[in-house]
């Protein structure tokens, strides 16, 4: 893949950007050496930084046109433990709202380093800035962008995959008011993680919704009733295959595969 098929000067939704950032979000699960090799040698970037503090990992990369920050999510084998042990406490966050205390703490561990590197890479203001992440990484990327938006710093785009809810309704309302047209939140059919923490505990999603049906089609939006019917279809299909649909649908490899399918099926 020629990374940076990403279109660096647009803030609207582009499938090319979604796919490029999906590759970055997937790469974030590799170890530092593998990420470095891919970014510098295969993707031809001139800048690479890896962040790893107190269990939070991310990397930043840049060429002459863009800076991308990708956060690592939760390892597949730990999905169930993460869901079971999820702490639902809310704490004061950016943009006047309250956010998940665990996500807030995770970002704090690496924030000073990321903020410093991003400022260095954007010192001449010629590179556009992008964030991405999957699962827990999606939540961390969302909070990072919220902090920059609060500081009136330009972020061209945020693409997340399988994101849990990050903050309360006030955070969601303020974030969407400031940034919704530049954030695209992908949900794959029965992805379990996208339904936690629950709305009943005050949490609310942010961003512009993009949905993969159980047949793998990418749609702009669906009413709640149509989502419900589609998810029932997904569960029935998976039941016949003896699988765990909600966790399979959460895999970052599946999000990337579905975006590749969407890109390949576009009219020429």
Catalytic (active-site) positions = 135, 191
Counting Cα atoms < 13 Å in the Cβ hemisphere of 128 gives 14
Q: What is the DSSP string of 66-115?
A: EEEEEE----GGGHHHHHHT----EEE-GGGSEEEHHHHHHHHHHHHHHH
SS3 label, residue 202: coil
Q: Which are the contacts of 146, defined by CB distance < 8 A and separation ≥ 6? A: 93, 94, 95, 99, 171, 175, 179
Q: What is the DSSP string of 140-190?
A: HHHHHHHHHHHTT----EEEEESPPP-EEHHHHHHHHHHHGGGEEEEEETT
Report the alpha-carbon distance of residue 11 to residue 1 in Å, rounded.
22
Confirm if 195 and 162 have CB atoms less than 8 A apart: no
Is the alpha carbon torsion for 150, 153, 157, 160 positive or negative?
Answer: negative
Opening angle at CA 119, ends 39 and 114, nearest 5: 60
Q: Which are the contacts of 238, defined by CB distance < 8 A and separation ≥ 6? A: 190, 244, 245, 248
Report the alpha-carbon distance of residue 70 to residue 61 in Å, rounded.
9
């Amino acid at each position: 893949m020629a990374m940076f098929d990403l279109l660096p000067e647009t803030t609207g939704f582009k499938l090319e950007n979604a796919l490029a950032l999906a590759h970055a979000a997937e790469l974030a699960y590799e170890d530092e050496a593998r990420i470095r090799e891919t970014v510098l040698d295969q993707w031809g970037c001139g800048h690479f930084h890896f962040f790893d503090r107190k269990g939070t990992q991310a990397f930043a990369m840049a060429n002459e046109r863009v800076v991308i920050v990708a956060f690592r999510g939760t390892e597949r084998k730990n999905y169930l433990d993460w869901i079971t042990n999820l702490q639902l406490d809310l704490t004061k966050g950016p943009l006047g709202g309250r956010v998940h205390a665990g996500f807030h703490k995770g970002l704090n561990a690496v924030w000073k380093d990321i903020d410093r590197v991003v400022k260095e890479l954007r010192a001449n203001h010629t590179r556009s800035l992008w964030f991405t992440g999957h699962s827990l990484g999606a939540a961390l990327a969302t909070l990072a962008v919220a902090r920059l938006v609060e500081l009136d710093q330009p972020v061209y785009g945020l693409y997340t995959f399988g994101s849990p809810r990050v903050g309360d309704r006030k955070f969601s309302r303020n974030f969407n008011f400031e940034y919704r047209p530049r954030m695209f939140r992908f949900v794959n059919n029965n992805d379990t993680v996208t339904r936690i923490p629950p709305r009943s505990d005050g949490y609310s999603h942010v961003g512009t919704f993009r949905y993969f049906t159980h047949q793998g089609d990418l749609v702009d939006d669906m009413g709640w009733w149509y989502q419900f019917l589609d998810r029932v279809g997904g569960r029935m299909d998976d039941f016949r295959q003896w699988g765990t649909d909600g966790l399979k649908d959460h895999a970052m490899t599946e999000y990337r595969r579905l975006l590749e399918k969407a890109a390949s099926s576009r009219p020429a």
